[in-house]
């Protein structure tokens, strides 16, 4: 029996297998509203046979977008646009769908990657950014405005509002984005958080705002909606956020009722020195998994089905997330099922696509 294709749960949400499609920014929304691109992009991934599809980082307010093209869920118009996309997907796929909610903080107001990724000037479509402290991500960037306490209350409310909108849309899982150098990560790391109040300084203080956001979101949603957190296990910078602090954060999230943690790394500082290789982030997931009882999602240059299976067999993680690998091969779960002697879901329109010798690998979904 393949572990990768065994059923599991995140909170009360049951998954047919342990393949997670990680959230991947598309920079293709229009004023925060999901577009035809999202219908195409999410539609094809919903037919992949994965156990869970998590929608890309979605801003809880307009100023929290990484780029002008970022997806948002902050008002009735953005909610309606995403509702239309999800309605079409649900006609043809029963895959569980989650969404990652976030705020870019000081890394907001940037061009899309294929347009250079640089910070946009205020007279060129950019906007004023905010952060825990008035320290820019890049030295040449304009400094963000340090958040006041009343701003923190407003942002907590924004996360809650977006989470409730997602639940109204039938989204079954909320992932709070505390990774890759965005706002919640900026509060966690001593490199970006230089505050002198109760939200800065000690580890306890730096954890405070991300935990407050988690508590607010979790308490605002029914138990049927799973809630978890994606975090960067390390900044890859000496003196920055690290695995030991990530373990403490994960333990406190577990105590607070988090249904899982999703372990990535980096993104906070241009000074990072990352050692990249196949499965390079799995050791972080392994170390955190040993210290918590909630499921841990591992990610990071996992491209081969046997590699994913081995990671689960070695207790590196409880679930495996794919990002670029599944963009390159949107049928990765189908091919993994064939390689591991398992089954994956497919739309009935595609069942006859199975190659000779692999009949029975695909089973009809209930879309």
CB-CB contact of 58 with 101 (8 Å): yes
Q: HSE, CB side, 13 Å, CA atoms: give it for residue 141.
A: 26
DSSP letter for each residue of 29-46 = -BTTB--HHHHHHHHHHH
Take residue 365 and report the two structure tokens written for it.
């979904």
Is 260 a residue of the active site? no
The number of beta carbons lying within 10 Å of the beta carbon of residue 284 is 26
Q: How far apart are CA 318 and CA 312, in angstroms?
A: 6
The alpha carbon of 44 is separated from its chain's Cα centroid by a whole number of angstroms, namely: 19
Q: How far apart are CA 228 and CA 214, in angstroms?
A: 8
Active-site choice (182, 199, 280, 350): 182
**b/e code 144-181 from CB counts within 10 Å (16+ = b):** beebeeeebeebbebbbbbbbbbbebebbbbbbbbbbb
CB-CB contact of 199 with 205 (8 Å): yes
List of E strands, 60-190 = 97-102, 130-131, 145-146, 173-178
In Å, what is the CA distance from 181 to each residue of 110, 169, 177?
14, 28, 10
By the 10 Å C-beta count (0-12 exposed, 13-18 middle, 19+ buried), 358 is classed as: middle
User: Which residues form the catalytic set?
Assistant: 182
């Amino acid at each position: 029996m393949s572990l990768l294709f065994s059923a599991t749960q995140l909170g009360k949400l049951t998954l047919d297998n342990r393949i997670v499609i990680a959230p991947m920014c598309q920079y293709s929304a229009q004023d925060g509203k999901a577009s035809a691109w999202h219908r195409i992009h999410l539609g094809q991934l919903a037919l992949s046979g994965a156990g869970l599809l998590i929608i890309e980082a979605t801003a809880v307010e307009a100023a929290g977008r990484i780029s002008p093209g970022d997806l948002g869920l902050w008002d009735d118009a953005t909610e309606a646009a995403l509702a239309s996309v999800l309605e079409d997907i649900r006609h043809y796929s029963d895959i569980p769908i989650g969404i990652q909610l976030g705020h870019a903080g000081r890394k907001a107001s940037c061009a899309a990657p294929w347009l250079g990724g640089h910070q946009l000037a205020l007279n060129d479509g950019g906007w004023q950014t905010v952060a825990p402290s008035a320290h820019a991500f890049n030295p040449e960037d304009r400094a963000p405005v340090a958040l006041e306490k009343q701003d923190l209350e407003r942002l907590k409310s924004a996360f809650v509002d977006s989470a409730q909108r997602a639940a109204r849309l039938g989204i079954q899982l909320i992932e709070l984005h505390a990774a890759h150098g965005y706002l919640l990560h900026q509060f966690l790391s001593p490199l970006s958080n230089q505050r002198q109040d109760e939200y800065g300084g000690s580890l306890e203080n730096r954890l405070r705002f991300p935990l407050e956001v988690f508590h607010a979101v979790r308490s605002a949603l029914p138990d049927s909606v799973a809630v978890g957190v994606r975090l960067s296990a390390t900044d890859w910078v000496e003196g920055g956020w690290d695995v030991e602090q990530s373990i403490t954060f994960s333990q406190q999230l577990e105590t607070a009722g988090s249904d899982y943690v999703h372990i990535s790394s980096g993104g906070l500082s241009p000074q990072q020195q990352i050692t990249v290789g196949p499965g390079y982030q799995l050791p972080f997931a392994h170390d955190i998994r040993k210290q918590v009882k909630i499921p841990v999602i591992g990610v990071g240059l996992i491209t081969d089905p046997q590699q994913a299976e081995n990671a689960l067999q070695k207790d590196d993680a409880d679930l495996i997330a794919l990002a670029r690998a599944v963009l390159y091969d949107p049928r990765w779960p189908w091919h993994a099922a064939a390689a591991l002697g398992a089954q994956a879901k497919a739309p009935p329109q595609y069942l006859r696509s199975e190659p000779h010798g692999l009949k029975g690998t695909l089973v009809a979904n209930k879309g």
